[in-house]
Amino acid sequence: MRLTTLKHTDPMLRRLLALHLTGILILLSPALPAQQTDSINALSVSTQPVSGAGHLYAKPRPFAFITNLPKDVWGISKSPFQKNGWKGLLAVAGSTAILIHYDQPLLDGAMQMGRNIHWQPQTDYKVVLSIKKTGGDIKLFKMPRNVNSAFYTLGEGWIGVAIGGGFWLQGKIANNYRSLQTASDLMEGFCSAAIVTQVVKRVTGRESPFERTAPGGRWRPFPSFKEFGTNTSSYDAFPSGHLATMMTTVCILADNYPENKWIKPIGYTLIGLTSFAMMNTEVHWAGDYPLALAMGYLNAKIITARHKKINRQPVVL
């Protein structure tokens, strides 16, 4: 294993490293005071759960983040067809249709704005940790070299996994059931979001902006597994897996730590900046976003409602 040091890198890269780590720490910080507020978590069974910080958390079942996945996927799939679910479906479908109609000028405008504020559109990374291997090194960890890449990276799955790992470590050390449950929720949310978005991507087959062969990108539904794997960017734009993962992460943290009122505004701000960064670098269209955000929201609500057991009504958008 080879570790590349940042000691002699330029000040800009060090500032980007600080910005990147700050974003992770902001989302991770709800776990820091958890040991004091969660002393009630020593109870292994919740008989009278209440909302907010006073909610009683049971010790999460081992591998629940895997065994619950079929229920999560089914819950997201059936939500639009439940009572009042048509309202959310109509909102998502309407906003998606409008944005798709204007996708090309919206993308052009985002890229022009990126140039005006000096956000480089190209993704640029420095490999920090890699394993030497014949035929090419395996890149384990890379740091963004510019602001656009930093925000784009916030939507990658490993960020949520890293945050969940922090909660799990804190929960194990402090015997804190809320932290452990949050870690389980985040891992479950990452897996279920990945499954649902991948299914929709393979059904719709929309071109990514940088691979477009027509304004707004072409749609080629149901590509073969081989074709999708070979030319992924020609089919995987809709919906955005980055935004679905980020929305899931923010909503899970907000649901499990409702006393921290800043989680949503900061989380939504980061989601907005990531959305812009992905258009600036021609990875996604604006029309890829409404469904992704709805999926992430539903995903988080289904996961947290299972252990809170406060609202027993079906989860709808």
User: Residue 83 maps to which CATH number?
Assistant: 1.20.144
Residue 229 has pLDDT above 70, yes or no: yes
Residue 6 has pLDDT above 50, yes or no: no
Residue 157 has pLDDT above 70, yes or no: yes
The winner for highest mean pLDDT among 70-74, 124-128, 140-144 is 70-74
Q: For residue 158, tell me if it sits in a domain.
A: yes
Terminal CA-to-CA distance of the chain, rounded, Å? 46
Domain ranges, residue 187: 55-124+146-308
The overall average pLDDT reported for the chain is: 81
Averaged pLDDT, 70-84: 88
Position 59 scores a pLDDT of: 85
Q: Using 50, 70 and 90 to split pLDDT, how confident is the model at 158?
A: confident
Averaged pLDDT, 54-73: 86
Q: For residue 140, tell me if it sits in a domain.
A: no
Task: Answer yes or no: are the C-beta atoms of 288 and 225 closer than 8 Å.
Answer: no
Q: For residue 41, tell me if it sits in a domain.
A: no
Question: 13 or 264, which is more confident?
Answer: 264
Q: Number of folded domains in the chain?
A: 1
* CA atoms within 13 Å, Cβ hemisphere of 236: 17
Q: For residue 169, tell me if it sits in a domain.
A: yes
Position 121 scores a pLDDT of: 85
Handedness of CA 76, 97, 157, 220 (dihedral sign): positive
Task: Answer yes or no: are the C-beta atoms of 271 and 243 closer than 8 Å.
Answer: yes
Q: For residue 152, tell me if it sits in a domain.
A: yes
Q: How many CB atoms lie within 10 A of CB 235?
A: 27
Q: For residue 313, tell me if it sits in a domain.
A: no
Could you tell me whether strands 2-3 and 138-144 are parallel, antiparallel, or unpaired per DSSP bridges? unpaired
Q: At 127, which helix (H) or strand (E)?
A: strand 125-131
Q: For residue 264, tell me if it sits in a domain.
A: yes
Q: DSSP state, 290?
A: H
